[in-house]
Amino acid sequence: MKVDTLVLGAGIVGTSVALNFRLRGRSVALVDRRGPGEETSYGNAGLVERSSIYPVAFPRDLKALAEVALGRNPAANYHWDALPGLLPWMYAYWKASAPARVLAYARTMETLLRHSLDEHARLAALSGAEHYFREGGWLKLYRSPEGLDNERKEFPLARQYGLSMRELTVDEALALEPDLRPDFAAAVIWSDPHSVSSPGGVTQAYARHFAALGGEIGTGDARGLVRLGTGWAMSTAAGLVEAREVVVALGPWADDVLRPFGVRLPLAVKRGYHMHYRGEGGAKLSRPVLDEEGGYVITPMELGIRLTTGVEFARRDARKTPVQLERTEAVARKLFPLGERVEAEPWMGCRPAFPDMLPAIGPATGRGGEAVKGLWLAIGHQHLGFTLGPITGRLLAEMMSGETPSVDPAPFAPARFG
């Protein structure tokens, strides 16, 4: 089979890329080793996070660093044997988390985030996925004055971009979510974000629409990608696929495909876990709730109340160590009446991340900084993959089709890594 574009990776990013191309009339094959939305895009908190203009930054003060190092911060865990290989990346991440650079990040990322709601709404309307989406923002809870003070630092810039937030008393927060318990001191409601009841379901709906438009969905191992003349090819379960151009949207597995072609990127992973619970006594939530100092999010999903953990620094393929889930579950039960676990085993996924916390969207560059002809990237969205999938798909389709980009792509160029 010959197509114009081969997209590797059927998560929310790759599926959105493929759909945007098909909407432009290109012939497209979307290939993954699993079905659409069954890996990283399945396991997140389901937020279309319009308001997250500030990143999940590396701790800068000694007290916060000590809490992580001593295992006292429930939002972070690490494997000792992974640290030697991760130290250069973590040092670059620490530098990128300096206050001035975080402010620059926020201004850059907002250029993508401002499109996040509209682009999801567009694809959802086309794909019949609107029933997954809900408004109402998300609620952030704080256990100390210091936690709330840190949140307040985001307000001035957020207001410049027209974002809406409001501080709440405990009673006001409980009026929004009556089944919460008053195990917190203050809250902030961010009104702009939307959320979904199944991020995997949304991705699958977009993929079904892509297929209904004539797009090809295949199964195959992307590590089999090869050059073929002036284009690219790989074997799938249905046979050989040939394409003029290829998009790598493989998230944490991108390096496995890119390195043989001389593309070296500082890509690491932030692992995370989730578990679903029944609401005890019929307890419900109407929106995601972040316990900032507790280090977890609880959010209503089709399978129940999903508890998602913070960050685990480990090798991508290392054994599961869901210690954060055990720690945060105990804390979450004091805040919300979680019932029995729905699944037998915790789910684990890997958030692909660059140390500057920005995604890589654009043409791949190899040794010497020269573009690798016909090879494009859409990877490294870390905590914002579900949020930014549709606008990434639109932006990349615009770039590869010679259209005027809706977002300045320069800050996200893979060439920034040299």
Largest CA distance in the chain: 66
Average pLDDT over every residue of 168-180: 98
Per-residue model confidence (pLDDT) at position 230? 92
The DSSP output letter for 136 is: S
Please name the residues in contact with 68: beta carbons below 8 A apart, sequence gap of 6 or more. Answer: 59, 76, 78
Per-residue model confidence (pLDDT) at position 369? 77
Coil/strand/helix, residue 69:
helix
User: Based on the domain organization, do 257 and 381 belong to the same domain?
Assistant: yes
pTM exceeding 0.95: yes
Is residue 208's pLDDT more than 90?
Answer: yes
Q: What is the pLDDT of residues 294-309, one digit of tens each?
A: 999 999 999 999 999 9
Is 47 contained in some domain? Answer: no
Lowest mean pLDDT across 58-72, 267-281, 386-400 = 58-72
Per-residue model confidence (pLDDT) at position 288? 98
User: Based on the domain organization, do 260 and 362 belong to the same domain?
Assistant: yes
- Give the whole-angstrom CA distance, residue 405 versus residue 11: 23
- Give the whole-angstrom CA distance, residue 184 versus residue 82: 35
Domain with 31 in it: what CATH number? 3.50.50.60
Range of the domain at 390: 2-42+200-264+355-417
User: Based on the domain organization, do 299 and 180 belong to the same domain?
Assistant: yes
Is residue 3's pLDDT more than 80?
Answer: yes
Q: What percent of the chain has pLDDT over 70?
A: 100
Lowest mean pLDDT across 201-210, 270-279, 369-378 = 369-378
Average pLDDT over every residue of 313-321: 97
Element (H, E) at 254: helix 254-258
β-strand partners of 313 = 78
The DSSP output letter for 312 is: E
Look-up: residue for tokens 């945007």? 20
pLDDT band (50, 70, 90) for residue 247: very high
Is 231 contained in some domain? Answer: yes
pLDDT band (50, 70, 90) for residue 261: very high
User: Based on the domain organization, do 280 and 331 belong to the same domain?
Assistant: yes
Ordered alpha helix ranges (H), 97-219: 99-113, 116-127, 145-152, 155-160, 170-176, 199-212
Is 113 contained in some domain? Answer: no
β-strand partners of 134 = 195
Domain with 333 in it: what CATH number? 3.30.9.10
Per-residue model confidence (pLDDT) at position 367? 81
User: Based on the domain organization, do 290 and 245 belong to the same domain?
Assistant: no
Structure tokens at 244: 């003029």
Q: Which of 353, 376, 400 is the last residue in one of the domains?
A: 353
Please name the residues in contact with 268: beta carbons below 8 A apart, sequence gap of 6 or more. Answer: 86, 89, 313, 352, 353, 354, 355
Per-residue model confidence (pLDDT) at position 67? 84
Would you give the distance in Å from CA 300 to the centre of its chain? 18
User: Based on the domain organization, do 320 and 304 belong to the same domain?
Assistant: yes
Q: Is 205 exposed, middle or buried (0-12, 13-18, 19+ CB in 10 A)?
A: buried
User: Based on the domain organization, do 328 and 179 belong to the same domain?
Assistant: yes
Bin 304: left if φ > 0, else alpha if -120 < ψ < 50, else beta.
Answer: left
The residue type of 378 is A
Is 130 contained in some domain? Answer: no
User: Based on the domain organization, do 180 and 232 belong to the same domain?
Assistant: no
Structure tokens at 341: 């676990």
Average confidence score pLDDT of the chain: 96
- Closest to 378 measured CA to CA, from 394, 397, 392: 392
Q: Is 99 exposed, middle or buried (0-12, 13-18, 19+ CB in 10 A)?
A: exposed
- Give the whole-angstrom CA distance, residue 327 versus residue 296: 10
Asked if 353 and 267 touch (Cβ cutoff 8 Å), the reply is yes
Three-point CA angle 271, 277, 281, nearest 5°: 155
Q: Which of 325, 353, 381 is the last residue in one of the domains?
A: 353
User: Based on the domain organization, do 382 and 326 belong to the same domain?
Assistant: no
The total number of structural domains in the chain stands at 2
Is 52 contained in some domain? Answer: no
- Give the whole-angstrom CA distance, residue 257 versus residue 364: 12
Is 110 contained in some domain? Answer: no
Cβ atoms within 10 Å of 260's Cβ, excluding its own: 10
